[in-house]
Amino acid sequence: MAGKRTQKKKRKGTKRTKRRTGSVALLPKLIGGALIIGALLVLGGYAYFSRDLPSVTSLRDYTPPQTTRVYDRNKKVIGEIFAERRTVIPMSRVPRYVVLSVLAAEDADFYEHEGLDYRGMLRAMARDVVAGRAAQGGSTITQQVVKLMLLTPERTLQRKIRELILARRLESELSKDEILHLYLNHVNFGHGRYGIQEAAQYYFQKNALDLSLAEAALLAGIPQAPARLSPRVSPEAAKRRQRYVLSQLQAKREVYWPDLSDAAIAAARKENVEPVPPPERSSSAPEVLTIARRALRSAVGDEALGKGGYEIHTTIDLPLQRKSREALQRGLRAVDERQGYRGPLRRAKRRRGPKATKPKDALRMGRTYIARVRGADDGAGKLLLDVAGHPAVLRMRDAVRFNREGRSASAFAKRDDLLPVSITQMGEDDDPAIARLERGPEGSVVVIEPRSRAVLALVGSFDAVSGFNRATQAIRQPGSSFKPLVYARAIQSRRFTAASLVVDAPAVYDEWKPRNYEQWNYQGAVRLRQALARSINMVAIRVVEELGVQDVAEFARQVGITTKLEEDMALALGASGVRPIELANAYATFAAGGRWAPTRIVSRIVAPDGAPVPLPAAEPARDVMAPNEAYVMTSMLRSVVTEGTGSPAQRLDRAVVGKTGTSNEARDAWFVGYSPSIVAGVWVGFDDQRSLGKRETGTRTALPIWIDVMAAADESPKETNFAMPSGVIRARIDPASGLLAYEGQQDALEEVFLVGTAPTEVARSPDVADPNLFLMEQFDEEGESASTGAPRPAREDRVLGGVAPP
């Protein structure tokens, strides 16, 4: 029995041994199967998450949106055009200090790993577990490039896996330097600045190449959290981050960057780094930015405009641009003070006052409406308005010009008060429109260099805001500032000289009865020079009558008036509208010796790769007048300043000429004039054609602005005068008759004439009897009346429009 039990035990042990041996033999198969299944899962997951991944090869052609900059003539930045503020620079323009600081801040092992830092990932996972959330990023620079440029920034497992796949692909496609180049030019440094070059310019007003180690360390710390680590927003947090970057540079110096000395790091720690003051938010020349953008779009198209990176060089003198706007603002404020343009409109008696604009189906930008105040929100600093049946708000910060005392919205205007406003932003859905107070007049300033036709300043409104540019877009009646074009054609025709006598007396033309500004004052026969200086309307009308309206209109077109002119007798008085810039350029034709040329604002455009961009061909210049004809016109305009309506300009104490202009009911006030080197034109008026107010004229309203502009613009020596060309002679004349002065005449004047047009007859001395008196007496004795107005035979060829006084 014992033997049997022993045999049974042996058989059971053998079975157990066989089972153990079988299990051991099966283990490798199980492991192998698990590995295969795992591999299949990994491959399946890889294949799944690789679906529809963007191509990393697209990053070889790195063309992100860049900043287009607009420069003045001295390469000062006027403004920027951008979707994202970015300036791409090559690695050759990135100093080693910046590279090392970025590596210390973001990825010290960047040049060692192949896109993924596995140890860093494990550390991040451990910290995430401890924190119970995604608290640690652990991304390499390569991963950040993938996240910034190929994927969305969302934090999901799926996006993270796609990021890891793309990071490995990117490392196999681009070199380390190429990946770092992408990062340094694409990453956000806060305040809408992208890339190291924009950051260097914004925070330190220098190029990236010129950054110190301390500055580089400060900037390198920002991308981790731009809103929180900006030295403008949180200077202490930014400095703590800078100290961390410098400590990382120190700790890893021997292993990673032994070329960086301890002394350099120590010096960076001691350096006091402060950002420069932020640049002005608004451009001082929005009018120029609009023109520059339009020129770029015309040259390269919308797609290239959106990508940016261009340099647009202009003829604008930025300091002069600012001074010109300041001069316009002073002048407009002076009108505000004289006319009481502040607060709501005055309520007139007997129901003749202003009325609110009637309801309309829709509002339009650029029009002026009379709005009714419906309430005030002092907390938000807004007035609530009804504009032609539509809700709108007026922000008090936009009404500072008319609220110098800083009154609250409720103190500024009461319910049912009326305010003239324009719409600057249309309302959408339930949001009201944004209104702008139009209580006082607007204006424009144009400054031109006559020889080159470079526009040095272009101001189209009181405020430096984009919108309606009155200098180039407003069409306004020039009034008497158009008369120089009439007289220039008269001189050119050789039918008139500066000494020609023309009768200033009332007349009627097809039921139109024009009058002088001083309606009670008619002076009889006056010389053309006097008529221009005193701005006598009736003389200008008679000159146009003699020359022909069509003839004068065609001459105006030749000197650059492109606005359609009404060809009737009222053209003599500037009743047909023109644009300020084209009238200023017409005067520039006189200043340039009779040569017309188009004005220039955009001088050249440079592409992102440095190549010049071809600009559309400009209209060729043309000679409209001979230099001697233009000189005579300039000489006549000089009398406007020395003895006429422009006399306040004498305080400039230099050779300047020009002409005032005031349209009917003082709706427009002008002064356009020039020195030998600068032309300037000023216009003032309401957009809705309201009167400027009592006693507002070109002399009172526009000329003071022009004087301030010219004082700032003309830097030539004060003794510089207009050079007299050949083809002009000087002669002494009798001021009463326009004839040559008699010998010894005490009140004789010196006058300029084109060669061949000077008078040949000598004026009669008071001591010599007039032979015409004998003829007139004989005429009376034959029964004819001497009061019929018949011209005297000896004088009829030199007096236009009536009888010259004896």
Q: What would the pLDDT profile of 371-410 be if each residue is shown by its tens digit?
A: 999 999 999 999 999 999 999 999 999 999 999 899 999 9
| Residue, of 515 and 215, whose pLDDT is higher | 215
pTM over 0.85: no
Segments of 597-667 assigned E as strands: 602-606, 612-613, 622-623, 657-662
Q: For residue 563, which phi and psi values (nearest 5 degrees)?
A: -65, 140
Short-list 66, 616, 68, CA closest to 312: 68
Would you report the helix, strand and coil content of the chain in percent, each value rounded to 5? Answer: 45, 15, 40
Does 431 score more than 50 pLDDT? yes
Q: How far is CA 642 from CA 99, 531, 676, 704, in A?
A: 67, 14, 16, 16
Query: 768 pLDDT band (50/70/90 cuts)?
Result: confident
Short-list 234, 241, 226, CA closest to 193: 226
> In sequence order, which residues have a C-beta less than 8 Å from that of residue 577 and are 6 or more positions away?
475, 476, 477, 478, 563
Q: How far is CA 443 from CA 280, 285, 293, 367, 469, in A?
A: 23, 15, 23, 16, 10
* pLDDT above 90: percentage of residues in the chain: 70
- Mean pLDDT for the chain? 87
Query: 173 pLDDT band (50/70/90 cuts)?
Result: confident
Segments of 452-523 assigned E as strands: 454-459, 501-504
Short-list 181, 144, 188, 165, CA closest to 61: 181
Query: 159 pLDDT band (50/70/90 cuts)?
Result: low
Query: 779 pLDDT band (50/70/90 cuts)?
Result: low
* Ramachandran class of 33: left when φ > 0, alpha when ψ lies in -120 to 50, beta otherwise: alpha
Q: What DSSP designation does 724 have?
A: P
Burial of 345 (0-12, 13-18, 19+ CB in 10 A): middle
Per-residue pLDDT at 805: 32
Report the catalytic residues.
Answer: 106, 480
Cα separation, 98 vs 96, whole angstroms: 5
Which segment of 91-95, 124-128, 625-629 scores lowest on mean pLDDT?
Answer: 124-128
The 3-state secondary structure of 523-585 reads CEEEEHHHHHHCCCHHHHHHHHHHHCHHHHHHHHHHCCCCCCCCCCHHHHHCCCCECHHHHHH
Short-list 111, 97, 462, 507, CA closest to 271: 97
Q: What tens digit of pLDDT does each residue of 11-40 get?
A: 555 555 555 555 556 666 667 666 676 655
Cα separation, 249 vs 397, whole angstroms: 48
Per-residue pLDDT at 238: 96
Tokens encoding 248: 């990382």
Cα separation, 433 vs 103, whole angstroms: 50
Q: What tens digit of pLDDT does each residue of 691-725 get?
A: 999 999 999 999 999 999 999 999 999 889 999 99
Does 341 score more than 70 pLDDT? yes
Q: What tens digit of pLDDT does each residue of 32-76 get?
A: 666 676 655 555 544 544 556 777 777 888 889 999 999 999 999
Residue 600 three-state SS: strand
Does 782 score more than 50 pLDDT? no
